[in-house]
Structure 1
Amino acid sequence: MTLKAILWDMDGTLIDSEPAHQKAFLKALDSLGVSVGFGTQKEMLGLSSVEVHQRVVELTGLNITLAQWRSEKWRHYQYCSRNITPLKNSQAILDAFSAKAIPMALVSNSSRDELELNLEVTNLRNYFKVIISRDDVENGKPSPEGYLAAAKALSIKANECLVIEDSLTGVKAGLAAKMTTLFHPESDSLAPLCPEDAILLRPDKDLNAWLLKAFNYPDENRKR
């Protein structure tokens, strides 16, 4: 099946927002007077605020509602997000495929507030015809709901969509949606965990070159 659209993850795939999430997470815990084990936040990579809240309550015993946790995390995230930038050559890729009129959507486990703030800080908002946040679906990743909603909004069949993800949680969502799913992690340590049905593109490989080939476009750099 010919690919006709790209459905992007955001955090860790298009933008370098994981450090901001980590700082806001730790600051929120500190303000609440609790802490968690070293590396716990990294273990939550790709999870939505719903799942993170559940995990925090389990680990700390905090008597805090989801709304209260999201409010506290958001309070710190607004400050921590000011230095977020696009990852690697992601903006150049978005420019290139926008020029080729390839429909693109953004599907994130972040809240709508976090997502919109990230897009504003990085100036990436106008690249996407469709944006799906965790607040727009009943079930976040690894459920396929967000990706299926994006495909429907683009009026493109699921098997004509390419999902690009950096986390195993997101990869599972793409595969569950029956979409071609590219696993492009930030760390090579995650590469051995790539599900069998996903396509692995290691961190040091050229995403733009891979996409040009996948969409049957010539790589202009190779002609030089």
Structure 2
Amino acid sequence: MTRFAVLFDMDGTLVDSEPAHFEAMAEVLRLHGHAVPAALAGMVTGMTGADCHALLGELTGFKPSFEAYVRDKYGFYLAMASGLAMRPGAQSVLDALQDGAIPWAIVSNSDRMLVDANLRAVGLQRPGLVSVSRNDVRDGKPQAEPYLRAAYLLGKAPSDCIVVEDSVPGAIAGLAAGMTVIGWPEPHRNDLVFPAGTVLADPHDLLTTLSDCLAGLRRRFAKETLHVSR
């Protein structure tokens, strides 16, 4: 096993679940008599449930409590979860990491119930898998805590970790944690403006960019080792 690790966001990065999240949110709005704002889908990527609830209030006057929103939204989402699939290209990246004995983990802004449902749906749930949900930290993304916790659980230094994210809040979190961050937006999200320092990957080819970033970390480590030995 190498000294480096790769930390993946889940929704929209490993799992093609963003459409299901949006549809569940839309169903909640309809349930309570609200129209679905046309721009909503592009606004909620990477947001926590609490932030989504607040945004719905701002955009539509949505009044139900956060607890009621979660109950309804999770009910709709879990009814769709069994049909989820991996994002195209994600499985080949995980296979390459396994072949290279490079550890990886999942870091999500979703609650544990949804993380586990996604993992079951796409066949990723297994003993020993490190995953961090919104329930496991005090502050979710864009704060650094979720990624720092994952690095701690893997026994890795933050500077030895690469983050793969499809959202701007997630990229901000990875950079705040002192990690190398790859922005891997979904093909239709060419509107996203990732923060400075993010390495952008082709939406159809994550593996090439990830391989380049791992090579960069190895070169940096080799230089540091050479410097110490002198």
* TM-score normalised by structure 2 residue count: 0.86
Q: Report the AA paired with residue 208 of structure 1.
A: L
For residue 35 of structure 2, what is the aligned residue in structure 1?
35
Distance 1:101 1:216, change over 3 A: same
For residue 77 of structure 2, what is the aligned residue in structure 1?
77
Q: Is 1:14–2:14 an aligned residue pair?
A: yes
Query: Counterparts of 1:1-224 in structure 2 under 5 Å?
Result: 4-126=4-126, 129-187=129-187, 189-190=189-190, 193-204=193-204, 206-216=205-215
State the Cα distance separating 1:12 from its structure 2 match: 0.9
Structure 2 residue ranges without an equivalent (≥5): 217-230
State the Cα distance separating 1:189 from its structure 2 match: 4.8
Distance 1:151 1:85, change over 3 A: same
Residue by residue over 1:192-221, the C-alpha shift from the partner in whole angstroms, topping out at 9 and shown as x without a partner, is: 6122211111313x212222333349xxxx
Whether the 8 Å contact between 2:7 and 2:162 is mirrored in structure 1 is: yes
Whether the 8 Å contact between 2:142 and 2:170 is mirrored in structure 1 is: yes
Distance 1:128 1:165, change over 3 A: farther
Whether the 8 Å contact between 2:15 and 2:85 is mirrored in structure 1 is: yes
Distance 1:112 1:105, change over 3 A: same
State the Cα distance separating 1:134 from its structure 2 match: 0.9
CA RMSD of aligned residues (A): 2.1
Whether the 8 Å contact between 1:98 and 1:127 is mirrored in structure 2 is: no
Structure 1 residue ranges without an equivalent (≥5): 218-224
Matched residue of 2:6: which SS? strand
Q: Distance in 2 between matches of 1:165 and 1:190?
A: 14
Q: Distance in 2 between matches of 1:8 and 1:15?
A: 10
Matched residue of 1:131: which SS? strand
Q: Distance in 1 between matches of 2:53 and 2:135?
A: 15
Distance 1:62 1:188, change over 3 A: closer
State the Cα distance separating 1:81 from its structure 2 match: 2.0
Q: Distance in 1 between matches of 2:152 and 2:73?
A: 31
Whether the 8 Å contact between 1:103 and 1:128 is mirrored in structure 2 is: no
For residue 221 of structure 1, what is the aligned residue in structure 2?
none
Q: Report the AA paired with residue 21 of structure 2.
A: H
State the Cα distance separating 1:85 from its structure 2 match: 0.5
Matched residue of 1:87: which SS? coil
Decide which moves more: 35-44 or 74-83.
Answer: 35-44
Q: Report the AA paired with residue 35 of structure 1.
A: A
* Structure 1 consecutive aligned stretches of length 4 or more whose deviation exceeds 6 Å: none
Whether the 8 Å contact between 2:10 and 2:106 is mirrored in structure 1 is: yes
* TM-score normalised by structure 1 residue count: 0.88
State the Cα distance separating 1:62 from its structure 2 match: 3.2
Q: Distance in 1 between matches of 2:196 and 2:3?
A: 20
Residue by residue over 1:157-196, the C-alpha shift from the partner in whole angstroms, topping out at 9 and shown as x without a partner, is: 0110000001111111111111100001113653661222
Q: Distance in 1 between matches of 2:94 and 2:164?
A: 13
Q: Report the AA paired with residue 12 of structure 2.
A: G
Matched residue of 1:125: which SS? coil
Q: Distance in 2 between matches of 1:91 and 1:36?
A: 33
